[in-house]
Amino acid sequence: MIPTLEDVVRITDLRVDGQAVTGVTYMSYQEPVERLLGLEVREERSSLVRRTALQASLGVANARHRTGEGQADYMARLTKDARAVLAEEEGDAADRDLRRFLILVIGKLILETTGDPVGCRCLPLLEDLSSVGNYAWGVALLAHLFDSLGTSSRETGVAGFFPLLQVWAYYHLPCLGRKVARRRGAVPLLQR
């Protein structure tokens, strides 16, 4: 039993139908990062942008997880603060800020990287903002998660959107923590 695309839709509400999230791997992402995000790439790996630089450019530099704050609450607060900044912008500046916000969300949630850097591999897909909603981001999330399970740096480490696995396990593997009343003679499926 593994998470399916149906599970991705139920848990995240991300699209699993639509255009595939594919692209070309560039030798250097410096030009698209500078052109589409208006940020300088100073790192050795040009496909990564510092999260703090993205947050500062959106006016939410101090948006850190608070003690006891869940991922959903953190993202809601970050979204609210970013909306306030984005509402002040117009035209190309608004498009640039929207791309910055999208790459932050996509790079840290859907195609999560560990540590501070945010991956910009999908930045070329954000060039035409009107088509961003047409992509199957849920498929990309699940594919990235499955790929990361086999290539994690430590035996205990998992890259990718781990909350998907946590919620999936909660619903599909009740023996891992959820208290389920057991009836004698009932098969596990009937106990749910």
Q: What is the pLDDT of residues 41-82, one digit of tens each?
A: 766 666 788 888 887 887 777 667 778 888 778 878 877 877
As a whole number of angstroms, the distance between CA 85 and CA 88 comes to: 6
pTM of the shown model: 0.73
Query: What's the CA gap between 189 and 44, in Å, rounded?
Result: 51
Lowest-confidence region among 9-23, 72-86, 90-104, 153-167: 153-167
- Which whole-number Å values give the CA distances from 188 to 10, 141, 179, 182, in the listed order? 22, 29, 13, 9
When divided into structural domains, the chain yields a total of 1
Instruction: Indicate the residue type of 127.
Output: E
Domain ranges, residue 166 = 5-191
Residue 188 is classified by DSSP as: G
